[in-house]
Structure 1
Amino acid sequence: MRSKKGTSGRDTFLGTARREQFIACAIDALAETGFAGASIAEVANRAGVSKSVVLYHFESRSALLEAVVTEVYTNAGPALVAALDAAPDERARLAAYLRGCTEFAWTHQKELRAVTEIFRNLRRDDGSRWYTAKDSEELIGFVQGLLEAGQRSGEFAEFDTRTLAVVLRATIDALPGLFESDPGIDGPQFAEHLVHLFDRTVRKDDR
């Protein structure tokens, strides 16, 4: 479902600002009160508007929550893409991916807590989960592509790329909960541990 947009330039500008405001309010509500507390009424209350104003821009609660997921993952993209593009080889690209994902998880804990609430709780009309394991396939496939590129370049050893891609993504997906449960973890240092671990796993034995 798509959010509703105005047709004039003024409506588009103001509408974009409004939608961003409502997404931010939804993130705060999800992170602070959980899925049940993040209603349209709560978002409207936090934004200081009526429910009808929120529903003008997002035709349903589900549409708003979908927009939250899109916004959070879109924000993670530019810095990660830039780091990958700047990497000189496939080992460096894998390291850049691990560092970028870990840093984002460490610096956006509130946003990822909100997304986790949506993933766990948003349902379709028939009661089935809105987001399923299939929604992770694109991310797993991207990591698998990194690993396959490293094998083609001769930098990585031979191993099952699908299996390791699943393990790597599962590790990254667990980071928000880990950082939240243990505030003493140093994110950048943890990232370097992951880089070292996975680099030793994928590279050819050069001893």
Structure 2
Amino acid sequence: MTKILIVEDHALVREAMTQSLSRLEPGVECLEADSANAALGIIEGDGSLDLAVIDLVLPDMSGFSLLAVLARRFPDVPALVVSAIDDDASVRRAMKAGASGFVSKSSSGEILLQAVREVLAGGMPMPARAGRAAPMPRQGTLGERFGLTAAQARVLELLACGKTNREIGEQLGLSEGTVKVHMTAIFRALGVSNRAQALVLLARQGERL
């Protein structure tokens, strides 16, 4: 059963998000926190959280600061930002602080669900921007063969180059916790259990990523 923590100080917004997320799958459980400190208390007391959904504007701590704390103390809990502050600079700052994805509050409930599914699968959903060119599909790549997301494929490319998690995070602007989440999804997709096995598989493939 998927368990999601919603960190949002407006009760009506929390209720609306809970209703939307209830359609994710049967039995999904949504916990609610109206502040960063409340969220940290819940995470400390519950070791089975699958995802934290975080607003950037909170009464006791900025969402950016909360993301940094989560990345440092709870790197295995991915964080999806849902915020009305969705300019490019804020999105980049949130991702660098440790977010695994970003959804604008102007988006529909279906887009939120899609983003949650992508993060849980190890992806990195980002808000669409008018005029921003869509990435070209990676035809014939190893990432495509194993069903990796674009974010996972980028991490895989750097993994194949021998980069450490820290180096991958620095190059992609991600926290080490987010890189670890991507690594777990990559290992699962490749059918391996660690970095060494993944490198052996990549060497045997003899293909471009």
User: TM-score category by the smaller chain?
Assistant: under 0.3
Select the structure that is richer in strand.
Answer: 2
Alignment TM-score, normalising by the size of structure 2: 0.27
Structure with the larger RCO, 1 or 2 (CA within 8 Å, 6+ apart):
1
Question: Which structure's CA Rg is the greater one?
Answer: 1
